[in-house]
Amino acid sequence: MKVARLHAGADLRLSDEPLPAPGTGMSLIAVTAVGICGSDLHWWAEAGPGDALLERPLIPGHEAAGVVESGQRRGERVAIDPAIPCGNCPPCKKGYRNLCTRIRFAGHGAQDGAMREHLAWPSELLHPLPDNLTDVDGAMLEPLGVAIHAADLGHLRLGGSGTVVGCGPIGLLLIQVLRAAGAASVTAFESLPRRLGADFVVDPSDVSSAADLQELIGYGVDTAFEVAGTDSGVHLAMATARPGGRVVLGGIPNDDWTRFRASLARRKGLTIAMVRRMNDTYSRAIGLAVAGKVDLASVVSHRFPLTRVRDAFESAAMRKGLKIIVEPGALI
């Protein structure tokens, strides 16, 4: 089978490897769609996000869907949950599987991901895809799950107001989730003209003073979400939150540090929450997509076959489009 392995920063090589052999409780999957995430780009550009380091050639990719090729579920189209929690540590036992201290995550550390033609994965982490969702939709359920988890952490009440700073794929999905959850107004801060459900889209460069911001949002919003991965994005999110409001930080910074003015957060008495992937959100993500509450296809801009995986990563790194999908089964 064809496999894409990252050997060093920007050194992604396509090679042939044997088919994986599924063990007990696992299934062999023909991978049909894999999304390139911002964290994948950190592996590509920096050989690891944050304090994670590339210790051996790694197969990237954790946003994936495919077709089961073994066992009783043979022929079933599935979305692949990329996180394998241990189930025994204190966070797992308390229901925080995303915070598992021994988690194995596809395309991270020592756990190879889905940027290949076949994958062996625990059967319990394979979610059936309804007929009206495509395989590309299936791959997009993972970033949608992250958006849902971020919204959960935001505790935005029905009829509340929010801002989203940074409108890449997860930011755009988050806007749709907030509207589906009953937000009365959502303002997006993004330098590119991306709306997708927001009431207003503001270019951050047009906000040069506190007076400009107050004119836009008045007293401030109930919950501000940052998914830009920059200190300026964090500052803007905190500036848009009302006194006593919440700020949810979901971006991954390049240098593993998040900096903000303590006086701004302290004087407003802000509650700050950090997003760590997602926590058992697949069924909700599927429900929202099937009901048409979230348009997954709207955030997909490019599709590449596995033979052009380097082109796919280079295009994603240039950030000219939105979500880029690699399709291992595609010929051209």
The class that CATH gives domain 2-133+296-327 is alpha beta
Residue 77's DSSP bridge partners are: 67
- Continuous H helices in 155-291: 169-180, 210-217, 231-240, 262-268, 282-290
Tell me which residue has tokens 């996000």. Answer: 49
- Residue 271 region by backbone torsions, left for phi larger than 0, else alpha for psi between -120 and 50, else beta: beta
Contact, 76 vs 128, CB < 8 A?
yes
AA letter at 238: M
Architecture of the domain defined by 145-274? 3-Layer(aba) Sandwich (3.40)
Q: Give the pLDDT of the chain (332 residues) as one tens digit per residue.
A: 999 999 988 899 999 999 999 999 999 999 999 999 988 888 777 766 767 778 889 999 999 999 999 888 999 999 999 999 999 999 999 999 999 999 999 999 889 999 999 999 999 999 999 999 999 999 999 999 999 999 999 999 999 999 999 999 999 999 999 999 999 999 999 887 666 778 888 988 888 777 888 888 888 999 999 999 999 999 999 999 999 999 999 998 888 899 999 999 999 999 999 999 999 999 999 999 999 999 999 999 999 999 999 999 999 988 878 999 999 986 65
Burial 165-186 (b: 16+ CB within 10 A, else e): bbbbbbbbbbbbbbbbbebebb
Residue 271's DSSP bridge partners are: 246
Six token digits for residue 96: 């925080």
Q: What is the pLDDT of residue 73?
A: 92
Domain with CATH 3.40.50.720 in the chain: 145-274
Distance CA 163, CA 17 (A): 46
Contact, 212 vs 234, CB < 8 A?
no
The SS3 assignment for 7 reads strand
Domain with CATH 3.90.180.10 in the chain: 2-133+296-327
